[in-house]
């Protein structure tokens, strides 16, 4: 069939087999309008329709923002929406039923707040999330139908003021600093990974006597020197008799220098005359050359390392050289990892709606690098009772959960925390990715709980925002000085929240990496650190704070390293 403009359309409309329609063309009604309307009128109609749609969307968005701002500015205007801390025996306030839109068939679906980041993924179920109007799947705010545990559930995200990113980190740091820490003495072979609880003071001079820095000849006075026969001076033996002026004897590296010796001549710089039993130097001899004098590195009583220093293999070596058999350290905080979500596989390829668990394998080495003693991950699935039992029986200092921090039908973290009377210290952080993270404390001197979102990069954001500063203080390690290099290019920001962007170091500035979505790990796997991008973004050349990764150099930017 040929239209008025001569265009041939070959496919037919499935709703009317007698009416031709191009698979990419307009609907039949639109096609008739196209043939009947003059061009000018058609353009005017399309323009008005688009403008009306944009105007309606703008009005709706402005109204939502005004409502959100009013709730933030007056959090006490309605007690149902006021931030609260759960206490034993006190039920959580119940938000009103959420407005629902009906899909064909009458199924209610709650609409997410405009501009909210979806944190779905391993353990954070799709369908609801940060900004969801209803606290539960049915919008009631109470226990879900069929929930055997009952009790309060999480209040609506839309009515909760997220904690600013820097305030959340500062709070985690203060909580860790205020926790009691009991130092203990451990042998050197068990001290690695801890932090020093006391200053390490030298117990002896280093070196404790004058030693030879090279294999060669130790000489006294000017040359040539008469060779004193014998096996020479070896490390671990006494220096023997003093050398007379003009004498020399063979010496090994580390051997004790005889009293009144002038210098050591390296083997390659000496020329023995065996016939005359004399030694000649092939270059000028400077008094004191290649001799390590006593106390060159430190004197007894010198402060070698301050409290808070992580005990590395090099620290172990220095402590041993300085005379220590054991060190006084802060115990490593104990961490339990609870992996939530029925959709997670531990091996093989994703299949049948199941996905690989990326967080369980990642968290153990990451938390260990932060100075924690981590138990093997426990996979609880979507079992609220198993989560309750794990939280109330843990003897760890910190419990890290993965997923389940949003408000979906099987997101049990908030309801379980409320049920056991946990104190909710941080409930959502104004950061992207990672907005629905949380920090709580189990009552009765129980562990802290850091709830990580289920998406991998969002979980990393939660680690660096809440777990890292808390663990740093619990383990007795001082916070690093922030480093602020310039960014290489413009970085877009969130209108209201902080963004954490994986970056690499290039020359004298940092470059943002792609693949930085909440569910992605490709960017962070290649990163040197994460740039802290303030709301609104930054222009090229602007300095930004960098969050170091625990396996990176403390200051990779100052080492001239390029990846």
CB atoms within 10 A of CB 172: 24
Q: Comparing 462 with 134, which gets the higher pLDDT?
A: 462
Strand 326-330 with 184-187, pairing? antiparallel
Confidence of residue 129 (pLDDT cuts 50, 70, 90): very low
CA dihedral 372, 378, 382, 386 (to 10 degrees): -100
* pLDDT tens-place string over residues 83-110: 333 333 334 343 333 333 333 333 232 2
**Averaged pLDDT score across all residues of the chain:** 76
Name 239's bridge partners.
Answer: none
pLDDT at 141 over 70: no
pLDDT at 142 over 80: no
Q: Quick one: pLDDT at residue 204?
A: 95
pLDDT at 229 over 90: no
Confidence of residue 278 (pLDDT cuts 50, 70, 90): very high
Q: Quick one: pLDDT at residue 365?
A: 93
Which residues have a Cβ under 8 Å from the Cβ of 534 and sit 6 or more positions away?
A: 493, 498
- Give the DSSP per-residue string, 335-346: EEEEEE-TTEES
* pLDDT tens-place string over residues 351-361: 988 888 888 89
Confidence of residue 135 (pLDDT cuts 50, 70, 90): very low
Picking from 132-146, 298-312, 458-472, which range would have the lowest pLDDT averaged per residue? Answer: 132-146
The conformation of residue 165, written as its DSSP 8-state character, comes to H
Distance CA 548, CA 554 (A): 7
Percent of the residues in the chain that have a pLDDT greater than 90, as a whole number:
53
pLDDT at 311 over 90: yes
Residue with tokens 């290019």: 489
The kind and range of the H/E element at 171 are helix 165-178
Q: Quick one: pLDDT at residue 553?
A: 52
Phi, psi for 181 (deg, rounded to 5): -125, 125
- Give the DSSP per-residue string, 299-326: -TT-EEE-TT-B--HHHHHHHHHTT-SE
* pLDDT tens-place string over residues 368-423: 999 899 999 999 998 999 999 999 999 999 999 999 998 888 889 999 999 999 99
Q: What is the average per-residue pLDDT within 276-281?
A: 92
pLDDT at 172 over 90: yes
* pLDDT tens-place string over residues 517-534: 898 889 899 999 999 999
Confidence of residue 342 (pLDDT cuts 50, 70, 90): confident
Percent of the residues in the chain that have a pLDDT greater than 70, as a whole number:
70
Phi, psi for 267 (deg, rounded to 5): -55, -40
pLDDT at 15 over 70: no
Name 352's bridge partners.
Answer: none
Say what the pTM is.
Answer: 0.65
Name 102's bridge partners.
Answer: 108
Counting beta carbons within 10 angstroms of the beta carbon of residue 465, is it exposed (0 to 12), middle (13 to 18) or buried (19 or more)? buried
Distance CA 231, CA 500 (A): 66
């Amino acid at each position: 069939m040929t239209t008025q403009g001569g265009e041939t359309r070959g496919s037919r409309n499935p709703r009317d087999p007698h009416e031709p329609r191009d698979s990419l063309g307009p609907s039949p009604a639109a096609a008739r309008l196209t043939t009947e309307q003059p061009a000018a009128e058609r353009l005017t109609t399309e323009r008005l329709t688009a403008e009306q749609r944009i105007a309606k969307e703008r009005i709706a968005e402005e109204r939502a923002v005004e409502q959100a701002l009013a709730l933030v500015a007056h959090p006490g205007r309605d007690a149902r929406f006021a931030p609260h801390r759960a206490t034993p025996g006190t039920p959580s306030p119940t938000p009103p039923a959420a407005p629902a839109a009906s899909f064909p068939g009458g199924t209610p679906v709650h609409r997410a707040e405009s501009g909210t980041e979806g944190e779905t993924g391993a353990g954070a179920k799709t369908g609801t999330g940060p900004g969801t109007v209803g606290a539960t799947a049915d919008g009631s705010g109470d226990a879900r139908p069929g929930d055997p545990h009952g009790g309060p559930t999480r209040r609506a995200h839309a009515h909760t003021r997220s904690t600013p990113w820097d305030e959340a980190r500062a709070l985690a740091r203060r909580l860790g600093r205020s926790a009691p820490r009991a130092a203990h003495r451990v042998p050197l072979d068990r001290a690695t990974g801890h932090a020093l609880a006391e200053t390490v003071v030298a117990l002896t001079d280093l070196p404790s006597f004058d030693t030879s820095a090279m294999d060669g000849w130790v000489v006294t006075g000017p040359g040539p020197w008469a060779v004193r026969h014998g096996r020479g001076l070896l490390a671990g033996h006494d220096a023997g008799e003093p050398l007379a002026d003009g004498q020399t004897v063979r010496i090994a590296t580390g051997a004790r220098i005889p009293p009144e010796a002038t210098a050591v001549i390296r083997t390659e710089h000496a020329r023995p005359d065996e016939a005359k039993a004399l030694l000649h130097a092939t270059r000028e001899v400077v008094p004191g050359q290649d001799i390590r004098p006593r106390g060159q590195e430190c004197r007894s009583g010198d402060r070698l390392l301050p409290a808070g220093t992580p005990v590395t293999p090099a620290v172990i070596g220095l402590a041993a050289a300085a005379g220590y058999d054991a060190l006084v350290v802060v115990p490593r905080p104990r961490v339990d990892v609870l992996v939530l979500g029925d959709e997670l596989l531990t091996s093989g390829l994703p299949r049948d709606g199941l996905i690989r668990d990326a967080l369980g394998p990642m968290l153990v080495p990451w938390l260990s690098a932060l100075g924690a003693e981590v138990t093997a991950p426990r996979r609880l699935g979507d079992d609220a009772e198993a989560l309750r039992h794990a939280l109330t029986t843990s003897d760890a200092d910190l419990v890290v959960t993965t997923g389940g921090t949003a408000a979906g039908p099987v997101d049990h973290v908030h309801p379980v925390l409320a049920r056991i009377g946990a104190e909710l210290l941080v409930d959502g952080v104004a950061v992207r990715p990672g907005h629905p993270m949380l920090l709580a404390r189990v009552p009765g001197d129980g562990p802290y709980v850091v709830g990580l979102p289920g998406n991998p990069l969002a979980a990393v954001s939660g680690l660096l925002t809440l777990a890292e500063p808390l663990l740093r203080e619990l383990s007795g390690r001082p916070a690093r000085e922030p480093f602020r290099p310039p960014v290489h290019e413009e970085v877009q920001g969130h209108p209201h929240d902080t963004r954490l962007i994986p970056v690499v170091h290039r020359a004298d500035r940092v470059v943002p990496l792609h693949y930085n979505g909440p569910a992605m790990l490709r960017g962070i796997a290649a990163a040197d650190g994460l740039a802290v991008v303030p709301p609104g973004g930054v222009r090229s050349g602007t300095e930004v704070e960098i969050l170091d990764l625990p396996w990176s150099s403390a200051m990779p930017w100052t080492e001239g390293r390029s990846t």
